[in-house]
Amino acid sequence: MKALEIKKDVFWVGAVDYDSRDFHGYSLSPQGTTYNAYVVKDEKTVLFDNVKEGFLPTMLCRLSQVTELEKIDYIVCNHLEPDHAGCLPELIERCKPEKIYCSPMGKRSMEAHFDTTGWPVEVVKTGDSINIGKRDIQFVETRMLHWPDSMVSYIPQDKLLICNDAFGQNIACTERFADEIDRAHLAHAMKEYYHNIVLPFSPIVIKTLDLLAELKLDIDMLAPDHGLIFRGEDVQYALDSYRSFAQQKPRKRAVIVFDTMWHSTEKMARAIADGLEAEGVPARLMWLKANHHSAVMTELADCGAVIVGSPTHNNGIMPNVAKMLTYMKGLRPQNKVAAAFGSFGWSGESVKNITGWLEDMGFEVPAEGVKCKHVPKHETYEECYNLGKAVAQALKAKCEA
C-alpha cells in the first residue's frame, strides 16, 4: 500500500479495486478499476478527491506515508460521484480542513449527498485560482464531463492537470503510468471507458478540449481519477484520442449484433456478413448471449455500421436485444448506418420493431430489413447477402462524403 510520488511533493494515494465487475452499467470483467486521489504538499497541504466507500483504510494507509491527517489544509472535490467522494464525511471529520473547494454544481451535489452543516465549503468556478505556497491551483469547470458538478484542477508550476473522470480508464494493476503497460491494452481501455460513459457528451468534450487549448495550459501530466496517469508525450496521445472519439467519424467496418433461438437468425447474420465482405467492409458478429452490451459499444467505436437481428419473441424482440438497444440509445452514438433482420414462427414483428429503434437513434437505414419464417432457405440467404451489400455501399458513401 505504498503512496507514489508522481511529481516533486505530489503523491498518488488512491486505491485499486481488483474485484469490481460492473461500472455504470458496463462490464469490467476481467479488469476492475482504480479510485485515484492525490496529495500536494506545499505551505498548504491539499487532498484532491478520495475513494469509494470501503476503500478508506487503504487510502488512509497511503496518506499516512505522506502526511498526518490533521495537516491536510484543503480538500478539493473535482467530482462528487460516490466512487470519488464516498469517504468525504469521514475524511472531513478526521482532517478538519480549513476549506473544501468544489464547483457551484458541486456544492449542490455535496448537499444532496451529505449533511454539510458546518463544513467550510468554498465554491470556485472557471478562472478562479488559489495559492498554496510555491504553487497555484487553477480551476476549470467541465460541466457534463460527465456530471454537472465536474471540474478539473491545474497546477501550472507542475504542469499537472488533475482531471477527475476525463481521460480515465478502468484498469486495475500495480502500474500507475500509461507508458508502463502495453499500448494496445491502454487504447482498448480508453475506448471502452469513453464509449460506455462519456460518449453522450461528445459535443461537450470537443468544447472542453477547445477551452483547454484556448487557455494555453502547459500540461505534461494528466492525472485522472480512474486508471493510469499520462505523462510526457502520452499527454498529447490522450488529448488526441478524446478528440477522435468525440468526432465519431464513420469508419468502414460493421458489427452484426444478434440473439437467436434455434440458430435461424444466426445463419442470417453470417449471410449478411458475407455481403459486407463482398463489398470490402470487414464485419464482426456478436451473439448477445456471449457478449455483454458494453462490449458491443466498445466494438461500435470502430464501426460505421450496426446491423441488429432478433427472432420475434412474444410479438417483440428478444430481451438481450432490447437491453442492448436501450443501452445503445442512451449513449447516443452518431453517424451510423444500420439495418435489421430476424426470423419468426407466426407473427414476425421483430424486424419492424428493431428498425424503429434504429431510426429513433437517428441512424441511416438504407434498406428494408430481412425477415425469415422458421428456417432460412436459399432465397433468404440471398436477401441477407444483398442486405449486407446495401449497408456496405451506404457506409462507403458515408465515409467518402
List the catalytic residues. 24, 79, 81, 83, 146, 165, 193, 226
CA–CA separation, 298 and 303 (whole Å): 9
Are the C-beta atoms of residues 142 and 152 closer than 8 Å to each other?
yes
> How far, in Å, CA of 22 to CA of 25, rounded?
6
Closest CA to 149 of 84, 239, 53: 84
Do the Cβ atoms of 331 and 195 come closer than 8 Å? yes
C-alpha cell belonging to residue 106: 458541486
Q: Please give the Cα distance from 66 to 40 (Å, whole number).
A: 9
CA 373 → CA 69, 76, 170, 344, 379, distances in Å? 69, 61, 43, 5, 12
Contact 269, 240 (CB under 8 A): no
Selection from 65, 113, 75 nearest residue 95 by Cα: 75
Which uninterrupted H or E stretch holds 140? strand 136-141
Query: CA nearest 131: which of 109, 101, 105?
Result: 101
Rg of the Cα atoms in the chain: 24
Assess contact for 14 and 4: CB atoms under 8 A: no
